[in-house]
Amino acid sequence: MIIQSQENDVATVRMNDPEHRNAFSMPMRIALLNAFRALEADQNVRAVVFTGGDKQFCVGGDITAMGNQPMGAALDRMRI
């Protein structure tokens, strides 16, 4: 879902779901949230480069998944 790397004090977080063109799905959101929380706590990281795939950064929200979830789940997505 994401690829993380670090060189010296610069971390790179890359979205890696080419099949879905890096759609901003709930699993992607959770993976990114976890990655950024871990990087925030890492005293050795001074900068983060956030990038997407080779052909696209992110196509936006995963509207297929949005349509399959109840309203409560939609409200939970807004809280992240």
Question: Could you tell me the end-to-end alpha-carbon distance of the chain, in angstroms, rounded to an integer?
Answer: 17
Beta strands in 1-80 (DSSP E): 2-7, 10-15, 47-51
Whole-number pLDDT of residue 50 = 96
**In this structure, what CATH number is given to the domain that contains residue 50?**
3.30.300.220
Whole-number pLDDT of residue 80 = 56
Whole-number pLDDT of residue 78 = 63
Longest dimension (CA), the chain: 44
| Structural domain span for residue 50 | 2-79
Domain count, the chain: 1
pLDDT of the chain, 80 residues: tens digit per residue: 899 999 999 999 999 999 888 888 889 999 999 999 999 999 999 999 999 987 889 887 766 765 565 666 666 756 65
Confidence (pTM): 0.74
